[in-house]
Amino acid sequence: MEKQTVAVVIPTIRNLDFLEEWGDEFRDCIGIIVEDHQKKEIKTPNKYFKKVFHYSWKDIDKDLGKNS
């Protein structure tokens, strides 16, 4: 069986301290942080995921333009 990739999407306006408790569960996952702020204000939690994508309004507006 082919190994599957799991992505964990975390929409947030708060800090991500809770990942201290869950970090081991996510170590083989891709993290997608969607921050509800104009720009990134939360430190990207690289150590908890295999790979992390971190987005803010600015990133979404840049990618989607007038469709965001």
Task: List the one residue out of 7, 54, 3 whose CA is nearest residue 30.
Answer: 7
**What Å distances lie between residue 25 and 14, 28, 50, CA to CA?**
20, 8, 11
On whether residue 16 sits in a domain, the answer given is yes
Contacts of 66 (CB under 8 A, 6+ apart): none
Q: Flag whether 1 is in a domain.
A: no
pTM for the model stands at 0.84
Strand order in the sheet with 30-35: 7-12, 30-35, 51-55
Q: For residue range 20-30, what is the model confidence (pLDDT) as tens digits?
A: 998 789 999 99
Q: Using one digit for the tens of pLDDT, what is the confidence trace for 58-68?
A: 999 998 888 87
Instruction: Residue 12: give the domain boundaries.
Output: 7-67
| Residue 25 forms part of a structural domain | yes
Answer whether 45's CB lies under 8 Å from 26's CB: no
